[in-house]
Every structure is written in C-alpha cells, then in structure tokens.
Chain A
Amino acid sequence: DIQMTQSPASLSASLGETVSIECLASEGISNDLAWYQQKSGKSPQLLIYAASRLQDGVPSRFSGSGSGTRYSLKISGMQPEDEADYFCQQSYKYPLTFGSGTKLEIK
C-alpha cells in the first residue's frame, strides 16, 4: 500500500494568515492526490483533486500543488470557517490511502 505522511499534525493560524499543509507519498503518485476538509461533527468535503483542481464551490483561497511524492495544500488568508481537520488521499493505486490529518485552529 502507498503510505501518506502528512504534516504538521496540528497548527494554529491567525485570521488572514497563509497556511500550508504537506503530504509525502511513499512512492510517486503522478498528481493523483486529493485534499478534504472535515469540520467538527460534519462529514468530509472534497476540496481539491488531481493535486491542483478545485472542486466546484470551493473558495479560491484554497489551492493545491506538488508533483512526484510531495504535495501541499495552501490556504491563502485564513478565515474563521477554515478551522477544521484536513487530510490528503492518494488515488493513484488501490487501496486508496489517506494521510493522518492536520488539525487547523485559529490562533
């Protein structure tokens, strides 16, 4: 199975701050990488797929980048509603596997 190492496990950011979260795959995954947001008590929501493609309805302050084994999610200008857990998922090979998650809080 492809292992996804996500960092950091948690971080806090001030409103308006730019935040980055990273995922490292145990092998190359050819941009087959998605990011999800999960707010407390809610189900996960797809933010980005194919490493950089924004899901319909997701604010443009969210962006994804990367290649090979390293990928990142950037939030440009932290908003109160961005406080949530974020996790990555590789879709290059079955079984699909997930990162361990990042808890993002407002400072």
Chain B
Amino acid sequence: EIQLQESGPGLVKPSQSLSLTCSVTGYTITSGYDWSWIRKFPGNKMEWMGYISYSGSTNYNPSLKSRISITRDTSKNQFFLQLNSVTTEDTATYYCARTIPYYYVMDAWGQGASVTVSS
C-alpha cells in the first residue's frame, strides 16, 4: 500500500523559502504517475501547485511559476517542494499526492504539513 508523508518546518519567516519533503513508501516514484503538491488555505480554498513526473519533468501552476521548484531524490524515493519569497498568504496546509496520468486526479495523499509564514 502506498503511503506519502510530508515533512519540513512548520514556521517560515516572510521573504524566506519554504522547503518540504514528501517521502513515499510502497511505490517507486520513477515507476509511473505524476507527483503533485497541493495546498489548502485557511478558509478551505485548495490550490494545485505543480508536479514532477515519474520521468522528472515538471509542470507548475502559472500563478507560482516564478517562485516554485519541485525536485526529487530517486535514491531516497522522495520529492521536494521549494517555494521562494514567501508571504503570510502562503500560510496553508501542504499536501503531497500521487497523480494519475491521463485522468489528472490524486488517488493517494499525504496527511498534510501545516506551514505558517510569520515573523
């Protein structure tokens, strides 16, 4: 059974970078699927941030394109989110998720990592 687990700092200062790790067990991230980051803001709005594919290509939400980077470490079966120049508006719960190609829906999610941007 696949499991995803987010980890990273729960508090980030404005203007700094937010960095999160998604550790995947039960499936090898190079075997298939896309691997997404999604965030849920206070008030429940959800935003798809981007993905890295099993082959290593990336696709980002244009609203974040200048600030976001998604990378991976295949030896550790992990993928990463970096979001630069954060503001208080980036305060959210961040989820990593497996994304089914062709259908582009998320069939497995991590438990979520709460990140607060505050000085």
Contacts and interface: CB of A to CB of B under 8 A. Distances in A.
B75 interface: no
Contacts of B45: 98, 100
Interface stretch (B12-20, B23-31, B79-87, B99-107): B99-107
B95 A43 contact: yes
A94 B111 contact: no
Interface residues of B, number: 20
Interface residues of A, number: 23
B112 A95 contact: no
Interface string B47-66: 11000000000010111000
B59 A94 contact: yes
A1 B47 CA distance: 12
Contact of B107 (A55, A95, A96, A97): A55
A96 B48 contact: yes
A12 B82 CA distance: 39
A33 B106 CA distance: 12
Chain B CB within 10 Å, residue with most, of A46, A49, A55, A85: A46
Given A32-B104, A46-B105, A50-B103, A95 B95 contact: no
B95 A44 contact: yes
Interface in A32-86: 32, 34, 36, 42-46, 49-50, 55, 85
9 contacts: A36-B106, A45-B109, A46-B105, A46-B107, A49-B103, A89-B46, A94-B59, A94-B104, A100-B44
Interface of A: 1, 32, 34, 36, 42-46, 49-50, 55, 85, 87, 89, 91, 94-98, 100-101
Interface of B: 44-48, 59, 61-63, 95, 100, 103-107, 109-112
